Amino acid sequence: MLTDIQLSDYIKKRGKTMAEIKNYYFSSESVTEGHPDKICDAVSDAVLDECLKQDPNSRVACETLAKTGMLIIAGEITTKAKLDYQKIARDTVRRIGYTSSDMGFDADTCAVMEAIAEQSPDIDMGVSAGKGLFNSESSNVSEGAGDQGIMFGYAINETETFMPLTIHLAHRLAERLTKVRKDKIVDYLRPDGKSQVTVEYKDGKAARIEAIVISTQHAAGVDHKQIEADIKKHVINEICPKDMLDENTKYYINPTGLFVVGGPMGDCGLTGRKIIVDSYGGHGAHGGGAFSGKDPTKVDRSACYMARYVAKNIVASGIADRALVQFAYAIGVPEPLSVYVNTFGTAKVHDEVLANIVAKELDLTPAGIIKKLDLRRPIYEKTTAYGHFGRELPEFTWEKTDIKDLFANAK
């Protein structure tokens, strides 16, 4: 499967536009909060939230590993906060729902180990305002970027959330799977689970759902046919638009036939291993950096949020049907090295015009992004499951469309 950028380049070489690629299938996946990798994302961001709650200027790079009967929390943290890592980890795992050994993991009996050091002073020199080569003598002192890298944001007008339909549906299915478990609508479900959606596009528009995959951990002894019937009734039919399901839609529910062993017993979990689930489900592009466990001085996180904010406002303005935004940073340097906008031939103006507006009108320094999006708050554990983007929660300031007028009348 080609990414949007690869597809765009492929088409340009043949002298065509994106609009001429009309018929295709595209798939995206999501996972529940009980997936081993998502347990780790949640613990890492719970640590970050506690740091920011006590000390908004905390520097946090927190990683978590989960395996049978244990959690290992490691990383670099510089903070005035007093942290009880055991309590943070156990409370997080308990909230997710791993509360007994028959689920394969137990919040109250698992081992919690930690290996935490302070942030490297060499990194601090580049990040802290007034230090480092690029801002120590500047009259406009600002925080430098916490690392080098490229960050992407994406938006498309095929859903109300300006997210691609495939990842939107995959997230909502995973979210619903968790809800029916926690509300005991289906009382034999367990926390681990995955979803995947394939959509058929005709004439460039989403036409129908080709396939749905749901894999859900369950208690031992439950008949597979019952699981199929319950998941179709209580999950799929509650989320997927009925007019996009037809007699040819394929359903794969627990396709191995059994999913009793799950969570960290079934698979080792690591922070930051679901970066495509966290972003756009394979649409657009991804710079490669993970989000969870990182404070907002890390542009891996904050600049991706800003790029989504910009892309969403471009599309919400009505000037383009979709937009991909890229920022690039060097460690210790406040201003981005480049600003790129690609609307895949759907905009009413040249992409260069939009990129110039972004670079001129918005403060894209780490300090500017943190201020604009109000990122020094304990809001991050909520991001760890069901998408960092496309969820219009009050805390998710990057989902606002309050700067769309910047682009609406661009010429």
Tens digits of residue pLDDT in 51-75: 999 999 999 999 999 999 999 999 9
Q: Which residue reads 């940073």 in tokens? A: 329
C-alpha to C-alpha distances, 358 to 301, 313, 314, 354, nearest whole angstrom = 19, 11, 10, 6
Q: CA–CA separation, 282 vs 232, rounded Å?
A: 25
Please state, in angstroms and rounded to a whole number, the distance separating the CA atoms of residues 102 and 163: 37
Q: What angle do CA 121, 123, 125 make, to 5 degrees?
A: 70
As beta bridge partners, residue 100 has: 105
Total Cβ atoms within 10 A of residue 361: 11
From residue 275, alpha-carbon distances to 37, 41, 291 in Å are 10, 11, 8
Angle at 204 between CA 241 and CA 410, to 5 degrees: 105
Contact 152, 286 (CB under 8 A): yes
The structure tokens listed for 106 are 């137990």
Residues of the chain with pLDDT under 50: 1, 125, 136-140
User: Are 354 and 384 in contact, with CB atoms under 8 Å apart?
Assistant: no
Alpha-carbon distances, residue 289 vs 1, 57, 147, 304 (angstroms) = 21, 22, 10, 9
Crossing angle of the two packed helices 36-54 and 85-96, in degrees rounded to 10: 130
User: CB–CB of 341/358 below 8 Å?
Assistant: yes
- CA 148 to CA 153: how far, in whole Å? 17
Closest CA to 64 of 84, 53, 50, 48: 48
| Residue 388, Ramachandran bin (φ over 0: left; ψ between -120 and 50: alpha; else beta) | alpha
pLDDT at 171: 98
pTM of structure: 0.91
For residue 362, what pLDDT is reported?
97
User: Which pair of structure tokens corresponds to residue 257?
Assistant: 């036939």
Per residue in 90-148, pLDDT (tens digit) is 999 999 999 998 888 999 999 999 999 997 655 554 565 555 555 544 444 557 787 78
pLDDT of residue 146: 73
